[in-house]
Chain A
Amino acid sequence: MQDTNKTIKTISDTSLIGKIGLYFKEKWNGIKDLVTNSNKKTMASFGIMGLGQLLNRQWGKGFIYLFIQIGAVFYFVFKGATDFIGLFTLGSVRSNPWEGITGDNSIIMLILGVLSVIFLIAYFMLYIANIKDAYNTQLRIEDGKLPRTLKEEIKDLLDKKFYKTTLFLPIIGVAVFNILPIVFMILIAFTNYGGVIVETGDLVDWVGLDNFKRILTLGQFSETFFKILGWNFIWAILSTSINYFAGLGLALLYNKKCVKGRAFWRGFPIIAFAVPGFITLLAFKFMFSYGGPINQMITGAGGTAIGFLDLDAGWTARMIGIFVNAWITIPSSMLLATGILTNLNNDIYEAAEIDGASLFQQFKSITLPYVLFATTPVLITQFIGNFNNFGIFYFLRGGLYIDGYFLASDTDLLINWLYNLSINNNYYSIGGSISLIIFIITSVISLAVYIMSPSYRQEDTYK
């Protein structure tokens, strides 16, 4: 009997659903224990936050919780409840300037609705903390100890619970400026906010998966989407591998025994690395422009100026993009490879030389596997960075719209298209959907690469 129990437990331990089930079971048991064991004072905190603490004569803490409770009730009665409902209706009063009716602003309602959900979660967490606190005090009293004073609690915030103090501001900042905007944009992806509605101020509605259907099935959006997606993959693969191997090559080159003054030679790529990206990109744009130096030299030699980055440039512009990106990124991947190569033991190479391995064999069987092993996570981030490389084509060919593309050009990546659609042309809902698609693509790729990578499969090989 015991054995079967054990196997059941191991099965539920390994499968994800089992894990989630176990988690909730434990939580549920915890709550049951808490409810059955708590005394009247703790129960008072179930009813009104802080009451149990006050009954235990923990005045400071009790009043803080009570104050939060009162504030929360006021907020939800006067504002929170309507905001929360607004999240679902997104407004019902149409604006009508002729009759002097200012309608509901759906987008503000959406943000306030999300905010009310965040407040609700925060309130719920404080409520739980309040009960747990009362229960802990009860346990202390049952053990014959005194309830903790506010002073002791504050002291704890600088010691055992110092992490709460340090994480407070960062978490609020990230919640307001990272999570809230992302949640907002995810929600927008399921509405019809964009295009004409933005200008007329009409009511916004939930439309389910319509935007995704528009992007993925036939129509002007899907045609552009798949063209851009294809180029985006070519771009990411090509530029990541070029930059990665060129960086590794440079690092090996500077590491050669015959090179004197390595620090000096490495300085050149570091200069390139240090110049802020927008300056480099603008400079290259000037360099390849119609009146730029390259075209001046061509016309000076009697040729006609070439529109390297013009509407009809096509692959020329794409190659220039890859080159410029390489110029910007190779130095950093060189620095990275240099750092990793210094950790590689030289004895391995000497042993290989004695065994008669050629330089190429040494590279193939020692250097490459080692570097690949050490840099797989960085390689993933580089791939995703390139997949979402906004700057390159924004500066080189920003604002160009080409026939056959909807508000994009043939060098634009999905992220550029996203910018064109949402920031320049008010197609917010489509923009939100594209953001989600980009998110899904990048996370699936990085997960897959990570699981297949040697650093995940054989963790201890090089340790």
Chain B
Amino acid sequence: MTSYNEVRRAKRKSIKWKKIPDTAITYTIILLVGFIFLFPVLWLILSSFSAQGSMYDFDGFFPKNYSLATYIKLFTDTAMYNYPKWFGNTLFIASMSCIIGTTLVVLTAYAVSRFNFSSRKKLMKVTLVLGMFPSFMGMIAVYLLMVQFGLVNNHWGLILIYSSGAPMGYLVQKGFFDTIPITIDEAATIDGANKFQIFIHILMPLSKPMLVYTALTSFTWPWSDFILPKLLLKQKDMYTVAVGLMSLGEDEFARFAAGSLFVAIPIIILYFFLSKYMISGLSSGAVKE
């Protein structure tokens, strides 16, 4: 018995030894990949601490001197580039669209997942076909509509567009509702609950993680969109961060980098906390009905 174990141990050892080059190659690739993905972000972070601010004063990729000057300038020197205002605008638009949009998405997903009404299949097909059209095909018409409604240069116009576009992405949420057994609903019905109560008191608490995911996606879209704000916001004071940062040139590179970090970091933190749900959200498109 002992000899058998010894042989096994020896064998395992030899396998371990054989695997060393493989492990070394694996780690080299992993480090290389990590570097490729980290480097541009690192570059932005270091650039934001540049003392001079202009890209022409850099030494290759990195600034010659470091200081906090850019950050101070970002929030105090607002005559030309009113970053705090842009940030506030973006936060307002994104949060409002997130609240309204998430509500609409959840309501849509719930109806399609739990009810078998006559036009259900038709509705799903229509959204599928609508999704095939290029995204800003109707942009001109949206613009004309906004002019008619008097909502150009108005943040509520953007909120209206973002939130009413949100239900088109109901499929992920619907997929999640589908995984909650319908027997729960049936049990509640027997207990005398109506559909509205079931929705509020049973399905909502059960789908918290997915709600967070849906809310996050409907927050990040307005948070980082640049096409609609560029079309609809004409005054510099009304800009969102995306449009504002686009107007910065190479000589304001440090300001751009610092401004970007404030936009990116909240999202990055959120993503890390939610990466588990991200995966299920991403792959739920792969699950067939």
- Shortest CB–CB separation between residue A162 and chain B, in angstroms? 4
Cβ of A180 within 8 Å of any chain B Cβ, yes or no, is yes
- How many residues of chain A get a CB closer than 8 Å to chain B's CBs? 93
Cβ of B220 within 8 Å of any chain A Cβ, yes or no, is yes
Q: For B22, B140, B196, B263, which residue has the most chain A Cβ atoms within 10 angstroms? A: B140
- Shortest CB–CB separation between residue A194 and chain B, in angstroms? 10
Residues of A within 8 A of B263 (CB): 276, 279
Residues of B within 8 A of A375 (CB): 283, 286
Please state if B132 and A335 are interface contacts (CB–CB under 8 Å): no
Residues of B within 8 A of A280 (CB): 40
Listed stretches A5-13, A28-36, A136-144, A437-445; interface member: A437-445
Chain B residue nearest to A167 (CB atoms) is B111
Please state if A159 and B164 are interface contacts (CB–CB under 8 Å): no
Contacts A292-B55, A377-B285 known; A423 to B41 CB distance under 8 Å? no
Chain B residue nearest to A173 (CB atoms) is B164
Please state if A291 and B56 are interface contacts (CB–CB under 8 Å): yes
Please state if A378 and B26 are interface contacts (CB–CB under 8 Å): no
Contacts A169-B107, A253-B26 known; A443 to B267 CB distance under 8 Å? no
Please state if A289 and B250 are interface contacts (CB–CB under 8 Å): yes
Contacts A177-B161, A276-B267, A282-B245 known; A418 to B134 CB distance under 8 Å? yes
Chain A interface residues (CB < 8 Å from chain B): 107-108, 111, 155, 158-160, 162-163, 165-167, 169-170, 172-174, 176-182, 184-185, 188, 250, 253-254, 256, 258-259, 265, 267-280, 282-284, 286-287, 289, 291-293, 296-297, 300, 327, 331-332, 335-336, 338-340, 374-378, 381, 384, 388, 390, 415, 418-419, 422-423, 428, 431-432, 435, 438-439, 442-443, 446, 455, 459
A-B contact pairs, 25 of them (CB 8 A): A107-B144, A111-B144, A155-B194, A158-B194, A158-B196, A163-B111, A166-B110, A166-B111, A173-B165, A177-B161, A180-B141, A180-B145, A181-B145, A184-B140, A268-B33, A268-B37, A270-B275, A276-B264, A277-B224, A278-B242, A340-B286, A378-B282, A388-B135, A390-B136, A459-B288
Chain B interface residues (CB < 8 Å from chain A): 19, 22-23, 26-27, 29-30, 33-34, 36-38, 40-41, 43-44, 55-56, 58-62, 104-105, 107-108, 110-111, 114-115, 117, 123, 127, 129-130, 132-142, 144-145, 148, 160-161, 163-165, 167-168, 194-196, 199, 220, 223-224, 226-227, 231, 242, 245-246, 250, 253, 256-257, 260, 263-264, 267-268, 270-272, 275, 278-280, 282-283, 285-286, 288
